[in-house]
Amino acid sequence: MPHDVTLIATVSIAFVLAFVFGYLADRLRLPPLVGYLVAGIFVGPFTPGFVADGGLASQLAEMGVILLMFGVGLHFSASDLLAVKGVAIPGAIGQIVLATLLGVGLSSLWGWGIGAGVVLGLSLSVASTVVLLKALEERNLLNTPDGRVAIGWLIVEDLVMVLALVLLPAFSEALGGHAPGAADGHGPGADGPIALTLAITLGKVGAFAALAIILGPKVVPWLLAKVARTGSRELFTLSVLAVSLGIAYGSAVVFGVSFALGAFFAGVVLSESRFSHKAAEDSMPLQDAFSVLFFVSVGMLFDPSILVREPLAVIAVVALIVLGKSLIAFGIVLLLRYPAGMGLSVSASLAQIGEFSFILAGLGLSLGLLPTEGRDLILAGAILSIILNPLVFLGVDAIRKNLQARRPAGAVPFGSENFASLQESLAEAKRRGEEREQAHSLQIQALANTFPVLGMLDSHDQERLLLLFQPKTAAPGDRLIRRGDRANGVFFISSGAVEVHTDGRTIRLEAGTLFGEMALLSGRRRNADVTAVDYCKLLILERRDFNQFTAHHPKLRTAFIEMAARRREMNQQASEEAAAAV
């Protein structure tokens, strides 16, 4: 095959096989990512037939990691986490610690070092976001207290893993590996004290986090607002990609932090802006596409012969994931005095591993902490635990029904008091979240309802127009437009009323109308004075934004021209009637 089509061949075959095996996995009621991993195995070096370019695949996988972490940050909700903090934070941290200790113990039986055990344990302790959400959606548990606790638990796990990705390189030599980039003898050494290395690492992370938190919310929304005003859909999507990939790459080059951490902070910064909804919508297809390539590239690394060479080790890893983690989670939930039913649901939800496990395994391998066999065992554990996860849920459902049947009539379930308090916190968090979503939806809906001329736009264009508007308030007596001024924009009246004074006449305009479009379309100066006669809320579409947006929507511009022509005709008729009366 010619060298210049290697990238095309790798991506094309990866997508085709991922689609085929992903569809088959879905028909078998398994998460599609099982199919993506199998597709990677088929194009990997350990199976006959076509072998994809591993170097290209690994770089595409890194892109997938960046976009995955950007999505995690973009959907990160501090309010949702705080609602379940009483169980999610101690539960997730406790499970990670105990599961990591089990991983260390398991690796010691195989004669591995402490570093390999830590990487193995961390990799087996964190569940897959994709699998968890899919499992909860299929069982209508996503918005239940049990589901919300499981999601909060997973958020804490993800945050701890982000920290682990930062700290592992700093501790790599102390754990028996080598410093990042030092495998060939040319990387930075670690002859200095571990405390100094750790301090430098955390200092860089802290500096990056402070810069992102302080400047990010100011710079990123400002940049996206400028791009949104161009009216170009592809430019906005490109700007979102530039923010996620640019911050990830820049943070790695300047501050030495991982791509994953940089992308996560980029998502967190953007999540609190008014562009978060649109950014998530526009970036989702690319996140999905590169996530598929990420899973395919992970599958390429898996050597299926490990199932034959080390069957007992594979069974031990799967048992730790499915049974060990589940029992730990169940025990922690009970210790925190929450119902057994919640403990069972959380246990089943987290009885698998996924994205972060692969990222950690790759990092451990690059730092010389984890042997290649360890990576194969983690991949085998991921594939098998994901396949077994539906069966775990069935078993949990049977246990829950059995417990309910044995409960004496009228008995108060264990943990009811804490569960009731949790329900109240979740209800409050849900109410706040719904208010934010409704406010966003109502803004778009109210835009078309209040201004019928905008009803010809679809919801996507209405949302884009909403981003272009500049809100303004006015009190009675405020002069909004003066005769002779240059036309600087169109004013949409959301509430209140104004009076237009022109040619000796006064016209009252109320909510749902607009003014200022005549001079804007003609290019002439204002020919009227406009004064607020009530407390007004206005949306201003500036001249540049008006011209660019209507250039992309000629029907809307035609509607404005016709509206201006009717007003001009009415004004002319009124002037003639006034002259005739005199």
Kindly tell me if the per-residue pLDDT of 425 is higher than 80: no
The total of other beta-carbon atoms located within 10 Å of residue 494's CB is 19
More confident residue, 189 or 278: 278
Mean pLDDT of 179-206: 60
Domain contains 4: no
3 lies in some domain: no
What per-residue confidence (pLDDT) applies to 159? 78
In whole angstroms, what is the distance from residue 358 CA to residue 375 CA? 8
State whether 222 and 333 are in the same domain: yes
β partners of residue 500: 507, 530
Is 580 a residue whose pLDDT tops 70?
A: no
Residue 154's domain comprises 64-178+190-406
Q: Which two structure tokens, joined as six digits, stand for 315?
A: 């069974």
- Within a domain: 258: yes
Residues 507 and 361 in one domain: no
Contact 158, 72 (CB under 8 A): yes
Mean pLDDT over residues 121-137, rounded?
82
pLDDT 10s digits, 47-70 = 887 777 767 776 777 777 777 777
Average pLDDT over residues 452-474: 77
For the cut 90, the answer to whether the pLDDT of residue 102 exceeds it is yes
Cα 279 from Cα 447, distance rounded (Å): 21
* pLDDT higher than threshold 70 for residue 411: no
- One-letter amino acid of 291: S
Residue 444 main-chain phi, psi, to 5 deg: -70, -45
Indicate whether 353 and 212 sit together in one domain.
yes
Residue 181's pLDDT band (cuts 50, 70, 90): low
**pLDDT band at residue 185, thresholds of 50, 70 and 90?**
very low
- pLDDT (average), residues 482-488: 86
Q: Do 568 and 496 share a structural domain? A: yes
The whole-angstrom separation of Cα 347 and Cα 344 is: 5
User: What's the rounded mean pLDDT across residues 123-148?
Assistant: 81
Nearest to 564 by CA among 509, 510, 531, 521: 521
Question: Among 100, 83, 54, 34, which residue's Cα sits nearest to residue 354?
Answer: 34
CATH number at residue 139: 1.20.1530.20
Task: Taking residues 450-455, report their average pLDDT.
Answer: 74
Instruction: Measure the CA–CA gap between 565 and 286, rounded to whole angstroms.
Output: 45
> Do both 402 and 473 map to the same domain?
no
Q: Given pLDDT bands bounded at 50, 70 and 90, which one contains residue 186?
A: very low
* Top-confidence residue, 59 or 443: 59
Distances (CA, A) of 210 to 42, 206, 265, 517: 44, 6, 10, 44
Q: Are residues 389 and 481 in the same domain?
A: no
Provide the pLDDT confidence category of residue 437 given band limits of 50, 70 and 90: low
Alpha helices of 302-371 — where are they, by DSSP H? Answer: 306-309, 311-319, 325-335, 340-349, 355-366
Among residues 54, 17, 49, 55, the alpha carbon closest in space to that of 36 is found at 17
Instruction: Indicate if the pLDDT at residue 432 is higher than 70.
Output: no
pLDDT at 187: 44
Q: Are 184 and 119 in contact (CB under 8 A)?
A: no
The pLDDT of residue 273 is 67
Q: What is the pLDDT of residue 413?
A: 67
* Model confidence pLDDT, tens digit, residues 492-519: 888 888 998 877 778 888 888 888 888 8
Q: Which position has the token pair 């095309």?
A: 8
Question: Residue 521: its pLDDT value, please?
Answer: 81
350 in Cβ contact with 153 (< 8 Å):
yes
Q: Please count the structural domains in the chain.
A: 2
Q: Are residues 475 and 553 in the same domain?
A: yes
Mean pLDDT of 209-230: 75
Mean pLDDT of the chain: 79
Residue 23 has pLDDT above 70, yes or no: yes
Q: Are 422 and 87 in contact (CB under 8 A)?
A: yes
Q: Examine residue 474 and state whether it is found in any structural domain, yes or no.
A: yes
Q: What is the DSSP letter of 336?
A: T
Last residue of a domain, one of 382, 406, 430: 406
Question: What is residue 37's predicted lDDT score, i.e. its pLDDT?
Answer: 83
Listed residues 388, 406, 424: the one ending a domain: 406
Domain-located, residue 330 = yes
Q: Which residues contact 288 (CB under 8 A, 6 or more apart)?
A: none
Q: What is the mean pLDDT of residues 215-233?
A: 74
pLDDT of amino acid 197: 64
> With a threshold of 0.75, does the pTM exceed it?
no
User: pLDDT above 90 covers what percent of the chain?
Assistant: 12
Contacts of 389 (CB under 8 A, 6+ apart): 31, 131, 135, 348, 351, 352
Instruction: Residue 485: give its domain's CATH number.
Output: 2.60.120.10
Do residues 497 and 397 share a domain? no
pLDDT for 17 beyond 50:
yes
pLDDT digits (tens, 9 = 90+) for 345-378: 899 988 988 778 888 888 888 888 889 889 889 9
pLDDT for 579:
56
Residue 231: what pLDDT?
Answer: 62
Lowest pLDDT segment from 187-201, 317-331, 390-404, 419-433 = 187-201
pLDDT above 80 for 214: no
Opening angle at CA 151, ends 94 and 136, nearest 5? 125
The yes-or-no verdict on residue 149 having pLDDT over 80 is yes
Q: What mean pLDDT do residues 429-437 have?
A: 61
CA dihedral 494, 446, 488, 527 (to 10 degrees): -50
Residue 98's pLDDT is what? 93
pLDDT tier for residue 422 given thresholds of 50, 70 and 90: confident
User: What would the pLDDT profile of 246-257 be if each residue is shown by its tens digit?
Assistant: 888 887 777 766
Q: Find, among 313, 316, 310, 346, the residue nearest to 328 by Cα.
A: 346
In a domain, 37, yes or no: no
Please tell me the least confidently modeled range out of 79-83, 229-233, 563-567. 229-233
Pure H helices in 229-275: 233-254, 259-271
Place 435 in a pLDDT band, splitting at 50, 70 and 90. Answer: low
**Range with lowest mean pLDDT among 326-330, 413-417, 493-497, 552-556:** 413-417
DSSP states of 465-487: HHHH-EEEEE-TT-EEE-TTPPP
The one-letter code for the residue type at 554 is: P
Is 526 strand, coil or helix? Answer: coil
pLDDT reported for residue 409: 66
Higher-confidence residue of 283 and 484: namely 484
Structural domain includes residue 424: no
Instruction: Identify whether residues 259 and 394 lie together within a single domain.
Output: yes
Question: CA 326, CA 332: separation in Å to the nearest integer?
Answer: 10
- Asked if 396 and 477 sit in the same domain, the reply is no
Identify the pLDDT of residue 166: 77
Residue at which a domain ends, from 378, 406, 434: 406
* Pair (315, 393) in one structural domain: yes
Residue 411: inside a domain = no
Residue 394's pLDDT is what? 87
Q: With 70 as the cut, is the pLDDT of residue 188 above it?
A: no
For the cut 90, the answer to whether the pLDDT of residue 436 exceeds it is no
Lowest mean pLDDT, pick from 8-12, 260-264, 335-339: 260-264
Listed in sequence order, the residues at least 6 apart from 219 whose beta carbon sits closer than 8 Å to its beta carbon are none
The answer on 249 and 107 residing in a single domain is yes
